[in-house]
Amino acid sequence: MRGYGSTLGLYQPGSGFLYRTPLPVKAVVSLACAVVVIAWRSPATSAVALVLSLAALTIGAHQSPARILRMLLPAAPVLGILAVYQGVSQGWLHAVAVVGGIAACLLAARAVTLTTPTQDLLDGVARLARPFRAVGADPERFALALSIMLRSIPYLAGLFVDVREAARARGLDRHPRVAVTPLVVGAVAYAHRTGEALAARGLGGAVDEEGIGEGRPEDSGSGAGRTPPRAPGGERTDPWDAGGRPRLSPGPPSRTGVAPPRHLRC
Amino acid sequence: MLEFSGAAVRTDDGRTLLHPLTLTLSERRVSVIGPNGSGKSTFLRLVNGLLVPTSGSVAVFGRDTRSQGHAVRRSVGFVFTDPLSQLVMPTGREDVELSLRSRKLPAADRRRAGEAVLRRFGIEHLADRSIYDLSGGERQILALAVVLAVEPRVLVADEPTTLLDLRNDARVRALVAGLDQQVVFTTHNLDFALESDRTLVVDDGRIVFDGLPRDAVARYREIAATAGVGGP
């Protein structure tokens, strides 16, 4: 399952000036690259953008040419098809401009995600989405969704590698369905697992709902006037101690009334 | 304090995964043992609201898992059997910080808090390694760290030592033993179950025994022997 470990598209700790450059600067430069390439579409513009992106990754993030090439590999099939289509329909110079421009934009965007810790990226997205609060959007959820999306792309790319290798090992690599079906099933399973993992940590739900750990239930609106739960013996007990910590019974199970062995005590 | 009041779980096609169950768990360490497919994980998932009962109710410190599920989940940490199902970020540092986002700390404070959590669990040297490069034991410790980073009131762990070798099994058990939280866990490791204060034996969706761990283990051995597979 080596594919699962793919870190394509994700932050990798390293050194270089790009790591020290603030996220807004990197984001604006990356966006500017896209705007320039689209607005002044020509082979020369694409070539300049490509050279600048390569230089940024090589000098600013200390990436080797081989590694940079690998960053483009997942997009290679699409770029290839696009090059042929553009070349045949619009001419080969136009194809160079389009494909070169897209490659430059991909590398510029990769330079941002490669050199920015995911949590910083999330903070940036949350800040950017803050104005949408006015229409009821939750910037944190927006950022979380983006981070999960960023994480999912390399995971699915890795899953594809694993599925293809598994099919090849069984001599079934000529059957596309054999590769696609487990990929779809795996993607759905991954989405389900990720959702469950986030839910289990209380992430992705209502933002202003307080957890139990943040106050006594009696202190919150919903808990006001709540009757303390009934203990096994019938008497009502307050589950919270004076310090606001839950009152836990270290004693024996209620059925036996015998002190249990204490192999490990907190 | 976990309260089950007639809580039952049935599937849409009418299969009963957990028969109506009424009990209160207030002990610091509660273990749940039983055969595979007996309903242990279903029971655990009820505790933090990952699953809501089809009838009856479950309350955690007075909060209903159905109507206040999100609040309950923020207060009940859940550790999965497979840590790779738990970890959603590429490195441990990022995953711990993801957990801490719910605290809405400034970025610098969150980073410091994340480092403190990693130090507390002795895995700061693994912080920037890919989660896929970690050993099973390291991953499970990290999974515990990301869940405990937000200091939940209750920790629920679904067979946390099942995929571990003996050394890592001991590490995780020692870590669980040292926690302040109430811990409810399922396990097939009967030595681990013996370290709890109270043990439930689940069989065929029913709690067939509830009491002291050594008595529970004996009961479980009887069940296994009756099923013709011999004692564990």
Q: Where are the domains of chain B?
A: 2-227
Yes or no: say if B73 and A213 are a contact pair by the CB < 8 Å rule.
no
Reported ipTM: the value is: 0.75
What's the CA gap between A142 and A128, in Å, rounded? 10
What's the CA gap between A194 and A242, in Å, rounded? 38
Query: Poorest-confidence range of A158-167, B62-71, B221-230?
Result: B221-230
Yes or no: say if A229 and B1 are a contact pair by the CB < 8 Å rule.
yes
What's the CA gap between B211 and B74, in Å, rounded? 29
Specify the CATH class of B2-227 in words: alpha beta
Q: Which residues of A touch B62 (CB under 8 A)?
A: 217, 223, 226, 228-229, 239
- CA torsion sign for A200, A202, A203, A204 is positive
Whether the CB of A145 is below 8 Å from some CB of chain B: the reply is no
Q: Is pLDDT of A244 > 80?
A: no
- Could you say which of B63, B107, B174 has the minimum Cβ distance to residue A212? B63
Measured between CA atoms, the residue of chain A closest to residue B156 is: A200
Whether the CB of B63 is below 8 Å from some CB of chain A: the reply is yes
From the CB of residue A161, how many other CB atoms can be counted at a distance below 10 Å?
16
Instruction: Look up residue A148 and give its two tokens.
Output: 């999960």
pTM over 0.95: no
DSSP string, B140-209: HHHHHHHHHTT--SEEEEESTTTT--HHHHHHHHHHHHT-SSEEEEE-S-HHHHHTSSEEEEEETTEEEE
Yes or no: say if A101 and A32 are a contact pair by the CB < 8 Å rule.
no
What's the CA gap between B217 and B194, in Å, rounded? 8
A7, A12, A119, best to mutate vs chain B, most B CBs in 10 Å: A119
Query: Poorest-confidence range of A202-216, B133-147, B152-166, B180-194?
Result: A202-216
What's the CA gap between B171 and B175, in Å, rounded? 6
- Give the pLDDT confidence score for residue A257 in this predicted structure: 31
What's the CA gap between A207 and A75, in Å, rounded? 37
Chain B residues 4-23 with a CB less than 8 Å from chain A? none
